[in-house]
Amino acid sequence: MMLARARELAEAENLHNVSFEEGDAQIHPFSRARFDVAISRYGTMFFRDPVTAFRNIGDALVPGGRLVMMVWQAHPANEWSTSIQRCLAPQEQEPIASVEGLDPFSLSDRGKVEHILSDAGFSQTSFLEVTAPVYYGEGVDVAMQWIRKFTFVRDTLERLNAAAALQALERLRDLLATHEDGSGVWFDARAWIVTSRRV
């Protein structure tokens, strides 16, 4: 659906030098040394083997090509994460791990990211801090639908009994109501824009 919409928009803009393809960037057989830049917005944190994945992406870049990605800073720095988690599991201090082991904060540590990218064949890694609110929808109902799709939210609710899950959702709804300002539901957030060069 998203790819079909992207193709429609490209066609409407008379853009014929773009193509849209679905694949797993960790293992996709990219053409070698074909691209000048690879861009990701909140996707690379979920690589199961990040060094292998970034090496695969790097192989698709020309020498000196850029990797630019936006990733979350640490869980405690992100109001959206800490406040939602408090509604679902008030006793948990550390970010809740998903059943699949996926971690949205896996690339929050600058030293760790530099090490991973270096091992994958990148250099000149830099970090730009982004502090901006995140939009969760036009109102509480829309925000609830969106947040319930989060892996850690879904997993946590499934671990609770029916009564506890209902109470957690009521707390979450109350939280969202306090973050609705007339223009939508917003939460403070902190991220990194990471830029690195293919060696």
Encode the chain (199 residues) as per-residue pLDDT tens digits. 888 999 999 999 999 899 888 989 999 999 999 999 999 999 999 999 999 999 999 999 999 999 999 999 999 999 999 999 999 988 877 777 676 778 899 999 999 999 999 999 999 999 999 999 999 999 999 999 999 999 889 988 998 999 999 999 999 999 999 999 999 999 999 999 999 999 9
Note the pTM of the prediction, 2 decimals. Answer: 0.88
Q: What's the CATH code, domain 2-198? A: 3.40.50.150
Between the alpha carbon of residue 176 and those of residues 51, 77, 135, the distances in Å are 37, 18, 11
d(CA 12, CA 23): 24
Of 144, 138, 135, 150, the C-alpha closest to 176 is 144
d(CA 75, CA 54): 23
Domain ranges in the chain? Answer: 2-198
Half-sphere exposure of 67 (CA within 13 A, CB side): 33
